[in-house]
Amino acid sequence: MARPVQYNIYGQTDVKLVKEGPEGYAGEGFFTTSLDKVVGLARKNSIWPLPFATSCCGIEFMATMASHYDLSRFGSERVGFSPRQCDLMMVMGTIAKKMAPVVRQVYLQMAEPRRVMAVGACASSGGIFDTYSVLQGIDQVIPVDVYVPGCPPRPEAIIDGFMRVQELVHNESLRRRTSDKYKDLMNAYGIQ
């Protein structure tokens, strides 16, 4: 079967090269919409990831960051290595129980709104390391927003997970982080 050619035919198919903006009222030279949507849009396209790479999955992340897969296309050019600057903690790799307090500490150092992505089977559930020394999923110590399955996940999968984070950021209500539900979640992890 011939592969459908879908580029450079903007207007003729359902493929849109330029995404539509949010709902709002547009006129000559101005556009109005709700603050939520503007903030969501801004945040969504400048997520600074904090790589927390402890083992093999980290290598896949390096590929994801490099030119071939290029995570920068999604507004994440800037990978930060100080948790205080970053929005998204990407935990990639096996987390030993001795490492768990460190993961937590790094999470606590991040400013709100902060998000966590568990990349790979190890970070999500302990993976193949079902043993006394390995944490059985980082969600035992910190709340996780997106899980990416795979051992290791391909860069495409990591990007897919990243786009899901973008979706969450885009649609988050500005009040979510002050809501009781969110506070309960934090309290469940013993985080103030």
Residue 133: name its binding partner from another protein, ligand SF4, none (Cβ under 5 to 8 Å by kind): another protein
Sole window of 49-57, 63-71, 82-90, 101-109 interacting with ligand SF4 (rule: CB under 6 A): 49-57
66, 111, 151, 163: which one binds ligand SF4 (CB under 6 A): 151
- Residue 27 or residue 190: which is nearer to another protein going by CB? 190
Q: Could you tell me the smallest distance in angstroms from the CB atom of residue 88 to another protein?
A: 24
CB 99 within 8 A of CB 85: no
47, 103, 110, 134: which one binds another protein (CB under 8 A): 134
Sole window of 26-34, 119-127, 136-144, 174-182 interacting with ligand SF4 (rule: CB under 6 A): 119-127
For residue 10, report the phi and psi dihedrals to the nearest 5 degrees. -60, 130
Report the phi/psi class of residue 161: left, alpha or beta, with left for phi > 0 and alpha for psi in -120 to 50.
Answer: alpha
For residue 64, report the phi and psi dihedrals to the nearest 5 degrees. -65, -35
120, 137, 155, 161: which one binds ligand SF4 (CB under 6 A): 120
Helices (H), the chain: 35-44, 56-65, 100-109, 120-125, 155-171, 180-188
Token pair recorded at residue 146: 């997106």
Distance (Å) of CA 96 to CA 29, 36, 51, 155, 182 = 55, 39, 17, 24, 27
| Binding flag, residue 137, another protein (CB under 8 A) | yes
| Binding flag, residue 122, ligand SF4 (CB under 6 A) | yes
Name the 3-class secondary structure at 121.
helix
CB 90 within 8 A of CB 57: no
Residue 118: name its binding partner from ligand SF4, another protein, none (Cβ under 5 to 8 Å by kind): none
- DSSP letter at 189? T
Residue 149, preceding bond cis, omega within 30 degrees?
Answer: no
Residue 152: name its binding partner from ligand SF4, another protein, none (Cβ under 5 to 8 Å by kind): ligand SF4
| Binding flag, residue 110, ligand SF4 (CB under 6 A) | no
136, 143, 157, 170: which one binds another protein (CB under 8 A): 136
The residues of the shown chain that bind ligand SF4, judged by CB under 6 A, are: 55-57, 93-94, 120-122, 127-128, 151-152
